[in-house]
Each structure stands twice: as structure tokens, then as C-alpha cells.
Homo-oligomer: A and B are copies of this chain.
Amino acid sequence: MRVSREQMAENRERILETAATLFRERGFDGVGVADVMKAVGLTHGGFYGHFTSKDDLAAQALGRAFANANRWTSEAKAADPQAPLQAIASRYLSPSHRDDPGHGCPVAALGCDVVRQGGASRLAATEGVRTAIGGMSAIAPGETEEERRASAIASYATLVGALVLSRMVDDEALSDEILAAARAALEPTQQ
């Protein structure tokens, strides 16, 4: 049956957000079109009225996930203007982020999947990473702009790598140790 224009827009929105979460939780191949639609409360057939294909959805959901996650940077700056990098690290490397991939960093959750993804998804990821680096550069230490940018990239890499490692291991103590070590490495070096 038909729904109102407004309802349809909301449905599309929910499909996108739900997909963004499910993909991060189970990977692109671990989620079917029907799974997403069911989670939203619709049936699989209607999907193609909103998106042209699963790949299309994947690309847009990835863009959404990046947009949500990249907001963390400005939130950190607002929360702790003195040490925004530590604020980000603290949130990014927290057990709650580790244990909830569905609402966290798309790079840590889908990074290696995206590498094998074609076209639109790769573009969305490239744009997302570029934006993330830009945002981190604004809060990274360093005299020159180049220094800050290089430092931002390195910090970003450390965050991503540590989170992936902490999620991989099947040993909570080791997992916590990894998070703590990365947090420590991102503290300002007060020689």
C-alpha cells in the first residue's frame, strides 16, 4: 500500500540508518536486503523503490556512517577545548566503542571490506577519510600545517589499528591492554 510522501522519506531515512548500523555490525556480505527491510519493518520488495541496488545502498550507508562518525571530532573539540585529541582518543578507544561497532567508526568496522568494494563505496570512503583527516588536523599538535596534518594522519591510524586489534582478540585483558597502550601513545609527549 501507499504511504504519505513524508512517511516515505522517513522510511528511506530509516533504511539508510539501519543499513549503516547492520553493515558495520555484520559486514556488507553478512547483511541481505531483506534483513535491512525487515529490521525497518518493511518487506524486501519495496527496497528497489528507494535504492537502485544493494551496492547503491552500501555506498550511501557508508557515507552516512562516515558523516555520523566524523562529527565526533567537533564534539571532542567542544567537550574539551584544551585537549581535544585526548578527548577523541578517550571516546574512540573506550570499551563501549569497541563493543558497539554498529554505531562507531566505519573504518574500523568495514575498512577491509571497503577495500574490496567497487566504485561508489570506495568514493564515499575516500571522501569520509579525507574529511576525517581534515578534522583531526585542526586539533593535532605541530608548528606547521604539514606537521599537524602528518600528525593527524598518524594519530588516526593508531586509533583505527588499535580498535581493530582490540576487537579481533578473544581475550578481554589483552583487548583492554591494547586500548590502554594506544591511549598512552596519544598522550602529549611531555619529555
Is A27's beta carbon under 8 Å from chain B? yes
Is A143's beta carbon under 8 Å from chain B? no
B158 touches A181 (CB 8 A): no
B130 touches A157 (CB 8 A): no
Tell me the interface secondary structure of chain A in the complex: helix
Contact partners of A108 in chain B: CB under 8 A: 112
Is A174's beta carbon under 8 Å from chain B? yes
Given contacts A110-B112, A174-B126, whether A157 and B154 have CB atoms under 8 Å apart is no
A162 touches B164 (CB 8 A): no
Question: A133 to chain B: closest CB distance in Å?
Answer: 8
A153 touches B168 (CB 8 A): no
- A111: nearest chain-B partner, CB-CB: B164
B158 touches A115 (CB 8 A): no
Is A185's beta carbon under 8 Å from chain B? yes
Given contacts A113-B112, A160-B164, A174-B126, whether A153 and B182 have CB atoms under 8 Å apart is yes
Q: Which of B116, B122, B154, B159 interacts with A182 by CB under 8 Å? A: B154
Tell me the bound Cα distance from A189 to B190 in angstroms.
12
Q: Which of B25, B114, B149, B161 interacts with A157 by CB under 8 Å? A: B161
A168 touches B114 (CB 8 A): yes
Is A42's beta carbon under 8 Å from chain B? no
Given contacts A29-B30, A150-B184, A150-B185, whether A115 and B168 have CB atoms under 8 Å apart is yes
Contact partners of A158 in chain B: CB under 8 A: 154, 157-158, 161
Is A71's beta carbon under 8 Å from chain B? no
Question: A161 to chain B: closest CB distance in Å?
Answer: 3
